[in-house]
Chains A and B, each alone.
Chain A
Amino acid sequence: MAHAYTPGLKVLHETIINKERRLPLKGTVTVEKGKVVTPDDIVAKTDLPGNVQMVNVANQLNIDAEDVNDAMIAKEGTAVAKGEMIAETKGLFGLFKTNVTAPVDGTIEVISDTTGQVVIREAPIPVEIDAYMSGSIKEVIPEEGVVIESEGVFIQGIFGIGGESRGDLEVISDNREEEITEEMITSKLAGKIIVGGSFISLDAYKKAIQMKVAGVVVGGFNYFDLEDILGYTLGVAITGSEDLVTSLIVTEGYGKIRMGSQTFDLLKEHHGKFASVNGATQIRAGVIRPEIVIPLTKDQLKGDHKDANASEGIQAGSLVRVIRAPYFGRMGKVVDLPSELRKMESETMVRVAIIEIDNKNVEIPRANLEMVETD
Chain B
Amino acid sequence: MELRSILATDCGSTTTKAILIEKIDDEYRLAFRGEAPTTVEAPFEDVTKGVLNAVMEVEELAGRKLLDGDNILTPRNGEEGVDIYISTSSAGGGLQMMVAGVVKGMTGESAERAALGAGSIVMDVLASNDGRKPHEKITRIRQLRPDMILLSGGIDGGTTKHVVELAEILAAANPKPRLGSNYKLPVIYAGNKNAADKIEETLGDITDLDLTENIRPVLERENLKPSRDKIHDLFMEHVMQQAPGYKKLMSWTDAPIMPTPGAVGALIEMVAEKENISVVGVDIGGATTDIFSVFQKQFNRTVSANLGMSYSICNVLAESGLKNVLRWVPFDIDEKELTNRIGNKMIRPTTVPQSLEELVIEQAIAREALRLSFIQHKAFAVNLKGVQKERTISDAFEQTDSGESLVDMMELDLMVGSGGVLSHAPRREQSARMLIDSFLPEGITQLAVDSIFMMPQLGVMANIEKEELAEDARNAAIEVFEKDCLIRLGSCLAPVGNAKPGAIVLTAELTMENGDTQKHEIKSGDIVRIEVPYEPVKAKLTPGKGMDIGSGKNEPIQTTIYGGVVGIIFDGRGRPLDISTDPKQRITDLTKWSNAINEYPNLNLKIDK
User: Most chain-B CB neighbours within 10 Å: which of A119, A236, A281, A345?
Assistant: A236
Given contacts A158-B348, A236-B311, A325-B341, contact A368 B164 (CB under 8 A): no
Residue contact A324 to B172, C-beta cutoff 8 Å: no
- Residues 14-39 of B, flagged 1 when their CB comes within 8 A of A and 0 if not, give 10000000000000000000000000
Question: Which of these, A223, A235, A281, A346, contacts B358 with CB under 8 Å?
Answer: A346
B319 at the interface (CB under 8 A from A): yes
- Residues 287-330 of B, flagged 1 when their CB comes within 8 A of A and 0 if not, give 10000000000000000001000011011111100000000000
Identity of the chain B residue whose Cβ is nearest the Cβ of A282 in the assembled complex: B311
- Residues 327-354 of A, flagged 1 when their CB comes within 8 A of B and 0 if not, give 0100000000000000011111110000
Residue contact B346 to A285, C-beta cutoff 8 Å: no
- Residues 344-358 of B, flagged 1 when their CB comes within 8 A of A and 0 if not, give 111111111111111
Q: Which residues of B contact A344 (CB under 8 A)?
A: 352-355
A123 at the interface (CB under 8 A from B): no
Q: Which residues of B contact A115 (CB under 8 A)?
A: 161-162, 164-165, 168
Q: Which residues of A contact B348 (CB under 8 A)?
A: 158, 253, 323-324, 370
Selected interface stretch from A49-57, A128-136, A168-176, A186-194: A49-57
Residue contact A54 to B169, C-beta cutoff 8 Å: yes
Residue contact B427 to A347, C-beta cutoff 8 Å: yes
Q: Roughly how many angstroms separate A367 CA and B14 CA in the complex, as a whole number?
A: 14
> In whole Å, how far is A258's beta carbon from the nearest beta carbon of chain B?
15
Q: Roughly how many angstroms separate A54 CA and B136 CA in the complex, as a whole number?
A: 10
Residue contact A54 to B135, C-beta cutoff 8 Å: yes
Residue contact A365 to B168, C-beta cutoff 8 Å: no
B359 at the interface (CB under 8 A from A): yes
Q: Which residues of B contact A233 (CB under 8 A)?
A: 314-315, 317-318
A27 at the interface (CB under 8 A from B): no
Residue contact B358 to A324, C-beta cutoff 8 Å: yes
Residue contact B135 to A223, C-beta cutoff 8 Å: no
A359 at the interface (CB under 8 A from B): no
Interface residues in A19-77 by Cβ distance below 8 A to B read 25-26, 49, 51-54, 65
> In whole Å, how far is B142's beta carbon from the nearest beta carbon of chain A?
9
Residue contact B336 to A224, C-beta cutoff 8 Å: yes
Q: Roughly how many angstroms separate A117 CA and B350 CA in the complex, as a whole number?
A: 51
Q: Which residues of A contact B340 (CB under 8 A)?
A: 222-224, 253-255
Residue contact B318 to A365, C-beta cutoff 8 Å: no
Residue contact B339 to A224, C-beta cutoff 8 Å: yes
Question: Which of these, B139, B336, B347, B356, contacts A158 with CB under 8 Å?
Answer: B347
Q: Which residues of A contact B169 (CB under 8 A)?
A: 54
Residue contact A285 to B351, C-beta cutoff 8 Å: no
Given contacts A223-B339, A283-B346, A286-B41, contact A346 B14 (CB under 8 A): no
A309 at the interface (CB under 8 A from B): yes
Residue contact B312 to A236, C-beta cutoff 8 Å: yes
A284 at the interface (CB under 8 A from B): yes
B93 at the interface (CB under 8 A from A): yes
Q: Which residues of B contact A117 (CB under 8 A)?
A: 134, 165, 168
Q: Roughly how many angstroms separate A65 CA and B202 CA in the complex, as a whole number?
A: 16
B602 at the interface (CB under 8 A from A): yes
Identity of the chain B residue whose Cβ is nearest the Cβ of A52 in the assembled complex: B172
Residue contact B135 to A159, C-beta cutoff 8 Å: no
> In whole Å, how far is B141's beta carbon from the nearest beta carbon of chain A?
10
A364 at the interface (CB under 8 A from B): yes
Identity of the chain B residue whose Cβ is nearest the Cβ of A110 in the assembled complex: B168
Residue contact B346 to A345, C-beta cutoff 8 Å: no
Interface residues in A288-330 by Cβ distance below 8 A to B read 309, 323-326, 328
Q: Which residues of A contact B426 (CB under 8 A)?
A: 346-349
Residue contact A236 to B427, C-beta cutoff 8 Å: no
A141 at the interface (CB under 8 A from B): no
Identity of the chain A residue whose Cβ is nearest the Cβ of B359 in the assembled complex: A346
> In whole Å, how far is B214's beta carbon from the nearest beta carbon of chain A?
18
Residue contact B355 to A367, C-beta cutoff 8 Å: no
A181 at the interface (CB under 8 A from B): no
Residue contact A223 to B342, C-beta cutoff 8 Å: yes
Residue contact B359 to A223, C-beta cutoff 8 Å: no
Residue contact A237 to B346, C-beta cutoff 8 Å: yes
Residue contact B168 to A112, C-beta cutoff 8 Å: yes
B69 at the interface (CB under 8 A from A): no
Interface residues in B168-198 by Cβ distance below 8 A to A read 168-169, 171-174, 176, 181, 198
Given contacts A51-B139, A110-B172, A347-B426, contact A223 B354 (CB under 8 A): no
Question: Which of these, A51, A309, A324, A345, contacts B344 with CB under 8 Å?
Answer: A324
Q: Which residues of A contact B359 (CB under 8 A)?
A: 346-348
Residue contact B354 to A159, C-beta cutoff 8 Å: no
Q: Which residues of A contact B134 (CB under 8 A)?
A: 52-54, 117
Given contacts A346-B356, A368-B351, contact A253 B164 (CB under 8 A): no
Q: Roughly how many angstroms separate A109 CA and B135 CA in the complex, as a whole number?
A: 14
A261 at the interface (CB under 8 A from B): no
> In whole Å, how far is B185's beta carbon from the nearest beta carbon of chain A?
14
B13 at the interface (CB under 8 A from A): yes
Q: Which residues of A contact B358 (CB under 8 A)?
A: 324-325, 346
Q: Roughly how many angstroms separate A93 CA and B494 CA in the complex, as a whole number?
A: 79
Residue contact B135 to A51, C-beta cutoff 8 Å: yes
Identity of the chain B residue whose Cβ is nearest the Cβ of A53 in the assembled complex: B135
Q: Which residues of B contact A281 (CB under 8 A)?
A: 347
Residue contact B347 to A285, C-beta cutoff 8 Å: no
User: Most chain-B CB neighbours within 10 Å: which of A65, A223, A349?
Assistant: A223
Q: Which residues of A contact B356 (CB under 8 A)?
A: 345-347
A184 at the interface (CB under 8 A from B): no
Q: Which residues of B contact A368 (CB under 8 A)?
A: 351-352, 354
Q: Roughly how many angstroms separate A119 CA and B135 CA in the complex, as a whole number?
A: 10
Given contacts A233-B314, A237-B346, A254-B344, contact A114 B198 (CB under 8 A): yes
Residue contact B312 to A235, C-beta cutoff 8 Å: yes
A229 at the interface (CB under 8 A from B): no
> In whole Å, how far is A232's beta carbon from the nearest beta carbon of chain B?
8
Interface residues in B127-185 by Cβ distance below 8 A to A read 134-135, 138-139, 160-162, 164-165, 168-169, 171-174, 176, 181
A234 at the interface (CB under 8 A from B): yes
Given contacts A235-B312, A346-B426, contact A285 B93 (CB under 8 A): yes
Q: Which residues of A contact B427 (CB under 8 A)?
A: 347
Given contacts A52-B138, A110-B172, contact A236 B314 (CB under 8 A): yes
Residue contact A223 to B351, C-beta cutoff 8 Å: no
Q: Which residues of B contact A25 (CB under 8 A)?
A: 176, 181
Q: Which residues of B contact A223 (CB under 8 A)?
A: 314, 339-340, 342-344
B583 at the interface (CB under 8 A from A): no
Residue contact A51 to B168, C-beta cutoff 8 Å: no
Q: Which residues of A contact B14 (CB under 8 A)?
A: 285
Question: Which of these, B13, B318, B347, contacts A283 with CB under 8 Å?
Answer: B347
Q: Which residues of B contact A364 (CB under 8 A)?
A: 354
Q: 4 closest Cβ contacts across the A-B interface?
A: A235-B315, A223-B343, A347-B426, A233-B318
Please name 4 further chain A to chain B contacts, defined as beta carbons within 8 Å, in addition to the given A283-B349, A324-B351, A324-B358, sorted by A numbering: A224-B336, A285-B14, A344-B354, A345-B354
Q: Which A residues fall within an 8 A CB radius of B?
A: 25-26, 49, 51-54, 65, 109-110, 112, 114-115, 117, 119, 121, 158-159, 222-224, 233-237, 253-255, 281, 283-286, 309, 323-326, 328, 344-350, 364-365, 367-368, 370
* A–B Cβ pairs within 8 angstroms, 30 of them: A25-B181, A51-B135, A54-B135, A110-B172, A114-B164, A117-B165, A224-B336, A224-B339, A224-B340, A233-B314, A233-B317, A236-B315, A253-B340, A253-B343, A253-B347, A254-B340, A254-B347, A283-B346, A283-B347, A284-B287, A285-B14, A323-B348, A324-B353, A324-B354, A325-B341, A326-B354, A344-B355, A346-B355, A349-B426, A350-B352
Q: Which B residues fall within an 8 A CB radius of A?
A: 13-14, 40-41, 43, 91-93, 134-135, 138-139, 160-162, 164-165, 168-169, 171-174, 176, 181, 198, 202, 287, 306, 311-312, 314-319, 336-337, 339-359, 424, 426-427, 602
